[in-house]
Amino acid sequence: MTTAALAAAVVAPSPAVPASPQAPAAAVPAPGAYYVQSAVTGLNAADSDGTVEQHRPRGDEDHQRWTLRASGASYVLESTDAAGSCLGRDGDRAVTVACASTDAAWEITGAAAADRYRLKAPGTDRHLAVAAKPAGANHPAPLTVGPAGDLAAWYLTPVDPATRPMPPADQRTLDQVTFLTSHNAYANGVDGGFAPPFVNLVPNQTRGIDRQLADGVRGFMLDIHQTSDGAILCHNSCTLVGGPVALWVDVQRIVDFLERNPGQFVTVFLEDYVDPSVLRAELARVDGLSDVLYRPDRAGVRENGWPRMADLIAANDRLLLFTDHSRSADEAAGLTRDGFGVMYQREWTVENHWSMGPGVGASDWSCYSRWYDANTNIPLTRTEAGFRPLFVMNHFRDAGITSTAATDNAKLADRAQRFCRPAARKKPNFLAVDHYDRGNPAAAVATLNTYTYP
């Protein structure tokens, strides 16, 4: 995205827009192609050789698309990949069966939330559900048929969703805008050292922070490690790093840019391995930070939704800082990072898994939560009344090989719209890439900024 294009997203201020209440869901969605998506895990029902399992969302791959249609007084969900084969049941197992079978019929009713549904075997109290989660493990892949409850809540996510044109520049809200984001922005081989010499040979970016800002990058992923010198930008470890850069230096570059460009908004994501007191001291060195720091925790965002970009600009709330650190760990230490303006990312965003695979060879385009494991369950579909988390879409591999990144970045818009948008049920707000100057990922950002996905 060019600087001019970003500037167009934020113009003169206007009155705040209150969040719209959710409209009640229709009793049954319109006939068409859908993903059957767990409201608990965000994973999709997929035909796996006759067993229906929850799998990582993979767009039009992996037999995850189902065509909903009426069948008498009930409904069936026919596989788009296997004509005549429908999502059904065999006892307490979810399986595929012939669409003419009575075991393929479902009653579809609204769940507690307006956009969620239950699929019930007609004349029974048995529902399609995710199996209960064993202690210390993820939910099992095979789906079950059992009692109603939270595990029986589903989204029916359209394969081809309705979209709306992007609102005028003075009306669009923060969660409607997509920003070009550089993964490991500090690891660029220009601003200073970031890793031991052999790792320095494979930087994630090839331009410095100032050039990234000038080129339209508006999201920056930075890794910080604790040393005797404070919070330092390094990859994995600062040992053997020659000429490392302190966090405050790059944040100062960003603040200085914002002072020169009063119509711009920037977000920083910290992969954070420092004590909160060290981070607080580091940020205190940044001149002008408090003038531009945005505090969504003090702005009623959870109650009223994200504000308009124009209002953020008018209030000079133009730098949003996130940490991936744990709030609970900080509370135990007696100092929370949001106390000095660094938001806990898991409270404000959702994020897909960080890697598509090794630096060369085939890639994995499945789009699933980075925070779904035996101990954590924050699905990409997470939402709250009046509040939708921002969506961070990672699109990079284990190693930032320049030629591979160029090829991957050219496919960014396709993955965003065909895989990740339905997986999260919202379009990405941050497209994070290696080598942002290769493969034209700014074109994908521009495409996503032409529409909203209600």
Tokens read off for 2: 């060019």
Distances (CA, A) of 80 to 45, 61, 229: 13, 11, 58
**What DSSP line would sit under 178-216, residue for residue?**
-EEEETTTT-SSSSSB-S-HHHHTS-S-SS-HHHHHHTT
Q: How high is the pLDDT of residue 406?
A: 97
Task: For residue 231, give the nearest of 271, 196, 189 by alpha carbon.
Answer: 271
Distance, in Å, from the CA atom of 380 to the CA atom of 392, rounded to the nearest integer, reads 9
Q: How high is the pLDDT of residue 275?
A: 96
Q: How high is the pLDDT of residue 200?
A: 79
How confident is the model over 34-81, as pLDDT tens digits? 999 999 999 999 999 999 999 999 999 999 999 999 999 999 999 999
Task: For residue 276, give the nearest of 188, 368, 338 by alpha carbon.
Answer: 338
Residues of the chain with pLDDT under 70: 1-26, 112
Region at 89 (left for phi over 0; alpha for psi -120 to 50; beta for the rest): beta
Distance, in Å, from the CA atom of 22 to the CA atom of 150, rounded to the nearest integer, reads 20
**What DSSP line would sit under 347-408, residue for residue?**
HHEEEB-S-SSSSSS-------BTTBSSS-B--TT--BTTB--EEEEEE--SS--HHHHHHH
Q: How high is the pLDDT of residue 416?
A: 97
Would you mind telling me the total number of residues written for the chain in this entry?
Answer: 454
Q: Provide, rounded to the nearest whole percent, the portion of the chain with pLDDT above 90.
A: 87
> Which stretch of DSSP H or E encloses residue 424?
helix 421-424
How many angstroms separate the first and last alpha carbons of the chain? 23
Distances (CA, A) of 133 to 56, 155, 376, 423: 17, 19, 12, 21
Burial readout 314-343 (b: 16 or more C-beta within 10 A, e: otherwise): beebbbbbbbbbeeeebeeeeebbbebbbb
Average pLDDT, rounded, for the chain: 92
- The predicted model scores a pTM of 0.93
Q: Give the helix ranges, DSSP H, for 140-275.
A: 197-200, 209-214, 247-260
Other CB atoms within a 10 A radius of the CB of residue 229 amount to: 10
Q: Is 221 helix (H, G, I), strand (E, B) or coil?
A: strand
Distance, in Å, from the CA atom of 332 to the CA atom of 354, rounded to the nearest integer, reads 28
Q: How high is the pLDDT of residue 111?
A: 78
Amino acid at 311: D
CA angle 324, 327, 333 (to 5 degrees): 115
CB 130 within 8 A of CB 144: yes
